[in-house]
Amino acid sequence: MADPAIQRLYLKSVLSLPPPVLRALSGGGVIWRGGRTLDPRFQFLWKAWRKPRGIASVTPEEARTTWAEMVETAAPRAPSMVRVDTVMIDGPASTLTARLYRPSTLDPAAPVLVFFHDGAGVVGDLETSHALCARLAEYGQCLVLAPAYRLAPEHRFPAGFDDAFAAYAWALENAERLGGPPGVAAVGGQSIGAGFAAGICAALKAERQPQPVLQLLICPLVDIADESQSMQTYADAWPLSAQALKWVLGWYLSADADPNDPRLSPLRADVAGFAPALIVTAGFDPLADQGESYARKLKSKGVPVIYRCYDGLPHAFPEFAGLVPCAEVACTEIAGFLREGLEGRLVRAAALPDHQDSMSLVI
């Protein structure tokens, strides 16, 4: 990949062109699937960045490098007013490095949000999730603790989840020292990080421990054996395809992994009594149905839920918010939902609508 700074300037210039021009540069036509139309800027990026090389021949190290370079090019700048400190956490196997994000205006009543990055347990790190965490802290007016959990294949499941759970427990014990109210915390994450957050709710329920005050799930991976319609409709989507998901889970999972394990597939757990949830999905994502199904299941058990699907966006859209304006708007909205959730403004309401309506909030 070219120098990220140069490529960023080039892409920002090209992506400012009118949608018909972008679609023409992308080969013409509109990408329309399942009643949804892909944003023309993402259509151009799909054409420009999708690699013809088969994913099966890519190594985890290559995937990490490629993703890091892509995010460096496409991610938005983190709010400059957010203070970022390095924190060391006692993990189950070794000391974990984490980043603590402190907003310019901190609500002292807002609990710490422990947020886990995406990457299916194989790619991604604190840097690739940096801009999103800073935005959540600033506009959510809360502390955000982002731990660097162990990655596969060097450390297969359940290592990453165990680190995530340890980070949440550490946040509970140290919440007051960090600057939040004592003894409470929220959990959140993106993709598999969202799965970690939901899995923590399942683990706490199994141990008869109190739930987090909130779970924030962005494009959640909550069923590793998912066979829903979105897995077929958006099988060739970018940057996450069904083939790429299968490849990365092959590196992440241990040989004896059970798809029904709630640490892997919290969608299959008994979710009664789980924490209130903010669930966000992307329309052009093989995982889209998982997030909606999880929202519906929580709602059926009386758990307060806000659900939102951004129809024209793909998986991992927050990492592209520096290039695609509608992705940036979505991230700001998510931070606003977080603020409402932390203030306790989630309420029970009617069941989710039977039809898909990405422009409506389900609360």
Tokens representing 110?
Answer: 């807002």
> What is the total residue count of the chain?
363
Sign of the CA dihedral with 6 first, then 26, 120, and 341 last: positive
Q: CA-CA distance, 51 to 70, in Å (whole number)?
A: 12
**236 included as an active-site residue:** no
Options 191, 230, 265, 293, the catalytic residue: 191
List the catalytic residue out of 39, 163, 226, 285: 285
| Structure tokens, 257 | 């992994």
C-alpha angle 255-259-260 in degrees, rounded to nearest 5: 130
Place of tokens 């509109």: 30
285 is catalytic: yes
How does DSSP classify residue 287? Answer: T
Nearest to 131 by CA among 280, 359, 323, 288: 323
Concerning whether 80 is annotated as a catalytic residue, the answer is no
Provide the phi-psi class of 198: left if phi over 0, else alpha when psi is between -120 and 50, else beta: alpha
Q: Cα–Cα distance between 6 and 8 in angstroms, integer?
A: 5
Question: What is the DSSP secondary structure assignment for residue 76, as one 8-state letter?
Answer: P
Active-site entry in 26, 163, 265, 315 = 315
CA distances from residue 278 to 56, 214, 256, 341, 359 in whole angstroms, order as listed: 34, 8, 31, 7, 15
Which two tokens mark 51? 């690699």
Q: Which helix (H) or strand (E) holds 143?
A: none
**What is the arrangement of strands in the sheet containing 83-90, beginning at the earlier edge strand?**
83-90, 95-102, 144-147, 112-116, 185-190, 215-218, 277-284, 305-314
Residues tagged active-site: 191, 285, 315
